[in-house]
Structure 1
Amino acid sequence: MSDRLRGTGLLLRFAMRRDRILLPAWVLVLTATVVASAAATGPLYATTAERVAAAEALNASPAIVALYGPILDTSSLGELSMTKMTVLYAVFVAFMSVVLVRRHTRVEEETGRAELVGATAVGVGAPLAAALAEAVLASVVLGVLVAAGNIASGLPVTGSVLFAASWTGIGLVGAGIAVLAAQLSSSARTVGFVASGAVGVLYLLRAIGDTSAGWLSWLTPFGWGTQLSAWSEPRTWLLVAYPLLAGALTAAGVALRRRRDLGAGLLPDRAGPAEGAPRLRDALALVWRQQGTALAGWTVGIGVMGVLMGSIVPNIGDLLDTETTRPIIEAMGGIGGIQDALVFALASVIAVVITCFGISAVTRAAGDEHDGRTETVLATATSRAGLLVAVSSAAILGSTWLLLVSGTATAIGWGRGLGAVWAALAQAPAVWVVLGVALLLLSVRSRWAVAGWAVLAVFVTLGQVGAGLELPGWVLGLSPFHHVPKYPSEAFDWRPELLLTLLASALVSLAWWRYRARDIG
């Protein structure tokens, strides 16, 4: 066994060095989101009666329960504060582990680097063990930071620790899912879709269970977070289920790993056509072909998310009808004003998620360059300028399309006009600025493209906790999302939109100019 795991520590250090930007950014954003939610909820619901009224209003909406899960103890401030975090944001925790394990197992095999590492004095099981160890460490660190953040925000200590432990458990389950999925196909992209599909099915089972057949919620780890009842009368024993499931998934993955060749998958690869289609003769068509499947999946996911979030808007008045918030509601123009403000807030959140699609398109181009595929493309009649235009179009136009989808879906869920559509599209210039920065990083050096995730994390953190920390206005203004007009709660202002568009254009133009001049690779 020791021979099979020889070199695990060295590979773990190498993996953590490679993820020195991606992983801290992910953990920072998730922790900041939890702290912001915990700090903001307490002042809104000062009394038990107000908390009970808000919780009952949440439980009365099937759409909210399907999206966030039910509140079992309606008087609990901790459970009300962590409503969105318990189920919905736990999905992002699972995906963190999926990304880490996939990146350091299947992606390494697909690119041939795993074979080079295996030719050294490294055990055959070391790469998988190192990837798992990194995912476990990331989940534990995230749990510790989330617990500390909730406690510092004034939530009960026991509940904070148990809630954080459930997030750590979700991270472990996500790692197990990725290990198992990585054995099925030789394509890293297919592995990503299989793991994402598994997470989606588990989430869907939880949504069905929480809204109708309650027993289904006990069959999925996303239901355990709610059933744990971390904030009152906790079922502490349920925390054991997370490592048990993760261990079973991992054991199955390890067993399957021993039955396949390095670089191969258990599922047979489908043979492609002998010749490429004529429509793939230029870089633009090739890049869009690469992103097509991902964009289709994102379109479905964003559409479902938009409809669910939009269906929350009509019930917001019941959620915020407290002694503390009633003067605020009146000052904002009544329930209609609150609904408009919520539409803008939802558009802001979905815009950040959509930005991740654009950054992933840019980092994929960086990966193609690392692996030598870009050099092969440029050996044809394709110019560097044309290639960067293709990558830019996939990131920017793809993200803009997803914003349109999110706005339309939110309008459908809300059941009112085009306000949600324009609210979503108003986020586009800010998204373009972030993608412009990512493209500029790619144009300077391909390995810098991953820093686009850190840039997004900084901007999101400023938006989530900047105002609460009373940071200076110029610091908050560093985030392009800070300048987006708060439409439809406020009148639309074209000036910041035009300025952000000009800034994005300048960044993309500078990236185009720089990319033409630098060496490839």
Structure 2
Amino acid sequence: MSTTAGWRLLLRLALRRDRVLAGVWIAVLVMMSVASAAATPSLYADQAARVHAAEALNASPAIVALYGPVLDVTSEGELAMTKMTVLYAVFVAVLFVVVVRRHTRVEEESGRTELVGGTAVGRNAPLAAVAVETLLLAVALGALTAVGNALSGLSAAGSMAFGGLWAGTGLVAAGIGAVTAQLSASARTCAGFAAGVIGVAFVLRAAGDTGPQWLSWLSPLGWNTQAGAYGDTRWWLLAAYPVLALVLGAVAVALRARRDLGSGLLAARPGPATGSPRLADAFTLAIRTSGTTLVLWTLAAGVMGVVFGMIAPGIGDLLDSATAQSIIDELGGELVAAILSVVAVVLTYFATTVVAHTARDETDGRAELVLATGTSRAAWFGASLVVALVGTALLLVVTGLGLWIGYVAADGPGIGNLLVAALAWVPAAWVVGALVVLSLAWGTRWAVLAWVWPAAFMVLALMGDLLQLPAWVTDLSPYAHVPAVPSEPWSWGSATALSAVAAGLLVVAWWRFRERDIH
């Protein structure tokens, strides 16, 4: 029997399982790219204004480190895709790592790969199936992005090149996910390894863009800027992505042949023979299982806050036109409020990761083992709820402190209390987090919606005006009801109302969880 026998059946199953996750993720990425492409022409009066803005971007090391340089300052497309080329490419990479991890390491950890392998399915069929799936997703993402950008007014050739960059980034990320799935012994470790590799790639690119340029060439994310999609395009560089992806895929297949099913080449460190008495408490157990994730998110939130705080004072050089300033006003008045409107959505995904882990505990049988002890349903469910919501609030606080540190370090003018500005978004993040918890409470099959809620509300908040949606539609987003602190005063009415909505959703979530069976 061939080692890839049965891959077509696994591919059909994978596409069916990922239709919501991948579909929503790709739709959000494409819409954000199209929105940026469509909005840029109206921001600047003429080419001179665009050149001035691009030169101002390149003059700020902090902005270049975050977004990458604008290689061709005369190109409208280069300016429009500044954030999309590198920063949003990281979100592309995350999608493909999630898909690969879901159908390789997670399946092995749950025991489903062993069950499937007992039939007429080859040893490498899961890898072959997920490789084809990621190829299809990459083609779809690249094609939709290229068409959307071209229809938004950017050059067709540049849009094709940019779509190729995103598709190539996805393929390389899929290869990284496949390799880390062979090295790690658990799904969580696999995610950590992959995140570390992507983080190193981002740091290398940032170091190369602000220092020795040769460092950028060592990173696939650096290729994104060096390719110059909307400038003097290096078409040959687009071929480097699939070549690297094929090399990583071959390495993954070779590593797969050298390990046993369910294990990793890097063996997991065995824990103590007897667990700590403190782990008998559900809350302590939840902290222990999510502690590493919270620490990593906290570090990332702090760094992100400092970087954005350092960028904010110099943003005035980019906003010479009244139209550009008015758009920032619509996003939150001050740039800090506009930054927080996006950061709050990103940090809400911490609650999603906690809930997703809780759902896996239930489907894999670990929740049943915990509940077989003296731990009540309320304690087990409430522990995850508290970690998710309190952790999100903590991340916003850390971001606010980071903003203040970066802003002061950059000698920014006084604009108000940045910590209070970050805290203003906590009630809205709690509403979305409560919806995430409600998705789990309704049943593990609905837990996938936990990944949808933040993205859906972000689209409503940021694209409502662009799509000319009715006010009642945009008001469905909790983020739309947050005052633009610090340019606007804190609103106790808004904070109280959003907190009450979050509390109501949590009550419904508990009622539903109490009534349903544990799977």
TM-score norm. by structure 2 comes to 0.96
Counterpart Cα distance in 2 of 1:310 and 1:456: 24
Alpha carbons of structure 1 residues 10 and 406: separation in structure 2 relative to 1, 3 Å: same
- How many Å separate the matches in 1 of 2:323 and 2:451? 38
Q: What is the aligned length?
A: 514
Looking at structure 2, the residues matched to 56 and 361 of structure 1 have their Cα atoms a distance apart, in angstroms, of 42
Other-structure match for 2:52: 53
Q: Indicate yes or no: 2:307 matched with 1:314.
A: no
Q: Deviations over 1:28-83 (max 9, x none)?
A: 11111111111211101131100010001000000000000000111111000000
8 Å CA contact retained: 2:331, 2:337: no
> Is the CA contact 2:342–2:458 (under 8 Å) kept in the aligned structure 1?
no
Question: Which letter does structure 1 place at the counterpart of 2:221?
Answer: F
Residue-by-residue CA offset, 1:129-148 (whole Å, 9 max, x unaligned): 11222222112111111111
Give, as a single letter, the amino acid of the residue that structure 2 aligns with 1:89.
Y
Q: Which residue of 1 aligns with 2:466?
A: 468
> 2:424: which partner in 1?
426
- Residue number in structure 2 paired with 1:443: 441
Alignment of 1:111-190 (within 5 A): 111-190=110-189
Aligned identity (percent) is 54
Correspondence list, 1:279-428, <5 A: 279-322=278-321, 325=324, 328=326, 341-415=334-408, 419-428=417-426
Residue pairs, 1:206-245, within 5 angstroms: 206-245=205-244
Return the alpha-carbon distance in structure 2 between the equivalents of residues 357 and 206 of structure 1. Answer: 26
Correspondence for 2:512:
514
Contact kept in structure 2, 1:182 and 1:191, CA below 8 Å: yes
- Distance in 1 separating the partners of 2:290 and 2:95: 21
Q: 1:108 to 1:272 in 2, by over 3 A?
A: same
1:291-341 residue CA offsets vs partner (Å, 9 max, x unmatched): 000011111111111111111101111111247557x59x97xxxx99962
In 2, Cα distance between equivalents of 1:49 and 1:429: 42
TM-score normalised to structure 1 length? 0.96
Distance 1:177 1:325, change over 3 A: closer
Segments of structure 1 that go 5 or more residues without pairing to the other structure are: none
Matches within 5 A, 1:255-294: 255-294=254-293
The aligned residue for residue 16 of structure 1 is 15
Q: 1:131 to 1:325 in 2, by over 3 A?
A: closer
Q: What secondary structure, in the 3-state scheme, does the structure 2 residue paired with 1:414 have?
A: helix
| Alpha-carbon contact 2:331-2:338 (below 8 Å) kept | no
Q: Which amino acid aligns with 1:399?
A: T
Query: Which string of whole-angstrom CA distances, capped at 9 and with x for unpartnered residues, describes residues 427-466 of structure 1?
Result: 1111111111121121121221111222222212212222
- 1:86 alignment counterpart: 85
State which drifts further: 446-455 or 284-293: 446-455
CA contact (8 A) 1:21 1:453 kept: no
Q: For the residues of structure 2 that align with 1:246 and 1:317, how far apart are their CA atoms? A: 41
Mapped contact 2:71–2:231 kept (Cα < 8 A): no
Structure 2: unaligned runs, 5 residues or longer: none
1:220 CA displacement: 0.8
Counterpart-to-counterpart distance in 2, 1:30 and 1:9: 28
The letter of the residue matching 1:394 is V
Compute the RMSD of aligned alpha carbons.
1.7
Structure 1: 4+ residue segments shifted above 6 A:
none
The offset of 1:419, in angstroms, is 2.6
What do residues 161-199 of structure 1 show as CA deviations (whole Å, max 9, x unaligned)?
101100000000000101111111211111111110000
> 1:269 offset after TM fit, Å?
2.1
Q: Distance in 2 between matches of 1:313 and 1:323?
A: 18
Given that 1:313 and 1:339 are in contact with CA atoms closer than 8 Å, whether structure 2 keeps it comes out as: no
Of 131-140 and 119-128, more deviation after overlay is shown by 131-140
